[in-house]
Amino acid sequence: MFGFSIYLNHDLTAEDYNYLLAMHNAGFSTLFTSLNIPEDDPDLVLKRLKELTKWCQSLEAAIIADVSRVGLEKLGIAISDSEQISSLNLTGLRIDAGISLSLVAKLSKTMPIALNASTISEKDISELRMYGANFAHLQAWHNYYPRPETGLSAEWLKEKNTWLHQANLQTMAFIPGDGLKRGPIYASLPTLEKQRQSNPLAAMFELKRLGCDHVFVGDASLSSDSITAFTNYIKQQAITLHVDDNLPELFENEWHNRPDVARDVVRIAEGRIKQLFDVEPQIETMPRPIGTITCDNNRYLRYQGELQITKRNLPADDRVNVLAKIIETDLPLLKEVAAGQKIIFLPAS
């Protein structure tokens, strides 16, 4: 499951709706928001929530809200009042502070509930079982961390996810966005500290390797380039790489990594078949830093026309022509190109 975030600290606009629509069309199924907004007027928050849930219902998108006892009480809602909770028109709740496990168990019998993955203990799991919680409705979601230097370590996240899976709980963590940042810190909203400035798609791959079943965008927006990259991955299992030069031959054709994955380069399976680039040796032989797109020239004999992307810094070779380079922000994606992986090249914005 892929999710994204829209927050209620401002009046919703057409831009918010268009972002919701773009993310839904990209394949993001669930929206995350928060009702823990102590500085905002309660009536305004509820008005904005009503509009947001209406949008989600029209698109058949799920919406999960972060809630705490204090936050709900400020909105005039008792967490123990099932009718009031139902009136919020939420798909499910992400439980924050001040809500008892007995009440969590009760809520889980009627709707999906996300527990705090970072703080839940073995004792909590035992109590939830004792209270008869519906574990089919329970997941464990990690926090995001607005303040730099406070995000989780990758090693700890992996260990915690392993334990949560042993308790039959699916897990979720947040990746940063690369669009507008959420205040008041404006330093991104990742779960992992190391991902604070990461390429969002590359961050998603890392969280999956660390045992996260679901990945949400913590920040309030992704750039249009990142939305396109996620669309291509979710719908085509393709990795999108942006190129720093105009190469229509790359942009207008379909490409795949070979099924046998090389250590040093991505080898494009169709390069020698299509023979789209000049195979005369270049006058100037250039080095091949990581992310360089190359074409073997006729000095490489039967390899002429082979297209590659370097995964590490390689020296100049008079048998290899340099065509262009993958932009720096996409370089982390090169290690994610799997056997037979479809690759989509696009011009850099």
**pLDDT one-digit tens code per residue, 255-311:** 999 999 999 999 999 999 999 999 999 999 999 999 999 999 999 999 999 999 999
Angle at which helix 122-130 crosses helix 101-108, to 10 degrees, equals: 60
What pLDDT does residue 180 have?
A: 84
pLDDT bracket for residue 219 (50, 70, 90): very high
What pLDDT does residue 83 have?
A: 93
Paired tokens of 340 = 């037979």
**Cβ neighbours for 268, distance < 8 A, ≥ 6 positions apart:** 255, 256, 257, 258, 306, 307, 308, 309, 343
* Span 152-158, average pLDDT: 98
* Span 56-82, average pLDDT: 94
What is the identity of the amino acid at 119?
T
Is residue 38 predicted with pLDDT exceeding 80? no
Is residue 247 predicted with pLDDT exceeding 90? yes
**pLDDT one-digit tens code per residue, 180-217:** 888 889 999 999 999 999 999 999 999 999 999 999 99
What pLDDT does residue 67 have?
A: 95
Peptide bond into 190 cis (omega under 30): no
Provide the whole-model pTM. Answer: 0.95
Is residue 323 predicted with pLDDT exceeding 90? yes
2-223 has CATH 3.20.20.70 classification: yes
| Helix, coil or strand: residue 63 | strand
* Span 225-231, average pLDDT: 98
Nearest to 57 by CA among 89, 80, 87: 89
- With 0-12 CB in 10 A as exposed, 13-18 as middle and 19+ as buried, what is 332? middle
Q: Which CATH class is domain 241-347?
A: mainly beta
What pLDDT does residue 166 have?
A: 96
| Average pLDDT score over the chain | 96
What pLDDT does residue 182 have?
A: 83
CA 324 remoteness from chain centre: 27
Is residue 37 predicted with pLDDT exceeding 90? no
State how far the Cα of 243 lies from the Cα of 256, in Å rounded to an integer: 16
- Give the domain ranges of the chain: 2-223, 241-347
Paired tokens of 100 = 């008892």
What pLDDT does residue 40 have?
A: 76
What pLDDT does residue 183 have?
A: 80
Phi and psi (nearest 5°) for 4? -145, 175
**pLDDT one-digit tens code per residue, 90-146:** 999 999 888 999 999 999 999 999 999 989 999 999 999 999 999 999 999 999 999
